[in-house]
Amino acid sequence: MPSLALLLLLALPLVAGVVIPVLPSGVSGRGPRGVALAAGLLQLGLAAALIWPQLQTKGNSDSIAIHQDWLPQLGLSLDLGLDGISLPLVLLAALITSLAVLATPLDQERPRLYFCLLLATNLGLIGAFLARNALLFVLAYELILIPTTLLVASFGGAKRATAAIRYLTYGAVSGLTLLAAVLALGLLQGSGVGAQAPAPSFAFVDLAQRSLDPAAQKLVLTLFLVAFGLKLPLVPLHGWQPATYSQAPTPVAMLLSGAVSKLGAYGLLRFGIELLPEPWAAWSPWIAAFGAISAIYGALNGIAQGEIRRLVAYSSLGHMGLVVLALAAATPLSLQGVMAQVLAHGLIIALLFCLVGVIERKTGTTTIAELSGLLNPQRGLPFSVGLLLLGLMASAGIPGLAGFGAELLVFEGSWTTFPLPTLACLVASGLTAVYAVRLFNRVGFGRLQTKQFQWPTSSWQERLPALALSLAVVSAGLWPQLLVGLSETSTAAIAIRTPLLLP
């Protein structure tokens, strides 16, 4: 039964997370790694098996669903669903989780704790994407914060404590703001509902029928914008992002940037556009402006960076600005651009962090000024640096790679609604090429340093995650339908309900 598959998607990381701590004490680090990898690959395969049933229904709303009462007194129920918006994100989360496990060094310290925390993050992600009850979504959303904070604090770089505290602080504010917004949306009622207050329900289908007065709608939307703006992140709510991405272990940075941050865009789609279309339409010019500011700010800071991890972090910030612009426009084409950009960016940013991690392990540094000539075969890293060039080209929107089609949908879908913010984002996209060329010119080419003539060659175990992501980036570039085929119907339905499309 397809509905049973939704429970299995959640059960796989949960069961694996229980098995890993009870493995025999004599088992090496490969044991926990193997269990985590098996759970991730099985989850990915199961999600892929759901593509065909979803295509049969053309991605219609929740063609696969489960409903089970949990705490009806609180309005909490186990409502799970899968539509054309959720399924691609589930696939993305399962893929990046599997590759993050594969990208973990074989000599990872405290492997049982490490892989359990990765699986807990995956459980929260899948739970959030499947949730069809707002309180259940909040629970999954908050679940992610705990293991990701511990991963950064326990396994991060030299400044991991500061980065983890900042990440935890911003994440806690995001979670509390989201909880306040959900409670307000579920409990506040407008005058059109009647004198008799209904039993509390936080199911999406019930929330969509709630009538709130305009002032209450704007208040709730403000809370959602803050909560999900912190998660994306969006300028000026991005204070945690550069430090966290630069200090997190490479697989954790892949997961945070490639999958966890996508909860921000998903939440704005589900709660902002779908449940609160009127205030969203009223505030969309301001939302588009913040998206444009984020895109320009991220690109300019990327140019100014002297360290690769922080450059990639600011690159991610800039590309999230494009997502916010497309969300603000809320046309059928721009919302297809949202899904395409979210998926393409998830693949590209995970690829870049994966390769930066390989370079760091082999050279011992990510400072641009200390690296040069890595593309030279005598250096031992031409394969990894060649894939880095591919990732930078995709990030810059070069045709034939995943980033091009996604950005084209964003710009075409947003231009008629918000020409000036779209123009600003076009400029930011051009600036992306500036820091991409600058980085590769300094790291890939240049004179060979005499103090370290040859770096250790990367192994195929280290190359495999980057190679898989590179193939996905090229495939999505040559066949863009992979990015929007499942979600086209679902995003069109949301856009049709948006007042921006009305004459």
Predicted confidence at residue 168, as pLDDT, reads 96
Residue 259: name the closest of 443, 78, 13, 461 by CA: 13
**What digits encode the pLDDT tens for the residues 66-90?**
888 888 878 888 899 998 899 999 9
Confidence of residue 503 (pLDDT cuts 50, 70, 90): very low
Mean pLDDT of 194-199: 52
**What digits encode the pLDDT tens for the residues 121-141?**
999 999 999 999 999 999 999
Confidence of residue 258 (pLDDT cuts 50, 70, 90): very high
Residue ranges covered by each domain of the chain:
282-503
Predicted confidence at residue 447, as pLDDT, reads 66
Residue 39: name the closest of 64, 66, 10 by CA: 10
Q: Contact at 8 Å (CB) between 93 and 259? A: yes
pLDDT at 501 over 90: no
- Cα 278 from Cα 27, distance rounded (Å): 57
Residues 6 or more apart in contact with residue 94 via CB below 8 angstroms: 9, 40, 43, 44, 47, 122, 126
Predicted confidence at residue 73, as pLDDT, reads 79
Q: Contact at 8 Å (CB) between 374 and 503? A: no
pLDDT at 502 over 50: no
Within the chain, how many helices (H) and strands (E) appear?
21, 2
Q: Contact at 8 Å (CB) between 443 and 372? A: yes
At how many degrees (to 10) do helices 214-231 and 277-304 cross? Answer: 30
What distance, in Å, lies between the first and last C-alpha atoms of the chain? 43
Residue 136: name the closest of 145, 144, 127 by CA: 127
- Cα 394 from Cα 349, distance rounded (Å): 10
Length of the chain: 503
Give the pTM. Answer: 0.93
pLDDT at 112 over 90: yes
Predicted confidence at residue 497, as pLDDT, reads 43
Among 12-26, 31-45, 421-435, which is the least confidently predicted range?
12-26
Neighbours of 408 (CB within 10 A): 16
Predicted confidence at residue 3, as pLDDT, reads 77
Alpha-carbon dihedral angle through residues 74, 148, 100, 335, given to the nearest 10 degrees: 60
Neighbours of 503 (CB within 10 A): 2
**What digits encode the pLDDT tens for the residues 142-176?**
999 999 999 999 999 889 999 999 999 999 999 99
Share of the chain above pLDDT 90, in %: 67
Predicted confidence at residue 193, as pLDDT, reads 44
Predicted confidence at residue 285, as pLDDT, reads 94
Neighbours of 39 (CB within 10 A): 28
**What digits encode the pLDDT tens for the residues 329-341?**
999 999 999 999 9
| Identity of the highest mean pLDDT range in 17-31, 182-196, 214-228 | 214-228
Q: Contact at 8 Å (CB) between 186 and 210? A: yes
Helices (H), 305-381: 308-329, 332-363
Residue 2: name the closest of 40, 48, 50, 36 by CA: 50
64-71/76-82 β-pairing: antiparallel
SS3 234: coil
What are the structure tokens assigned to 290, written together? 């913040």
Mean pLDDT of 258-279: 94
**In this structure, which amino acid lies at residue 47?**
A
DSSP conformational letter for 238? -
Mean pLDDT of 273-285: 92
Mean pLDDT of 186-195: 56
Selected residue with higher pLDDT from 352 and 55: 352
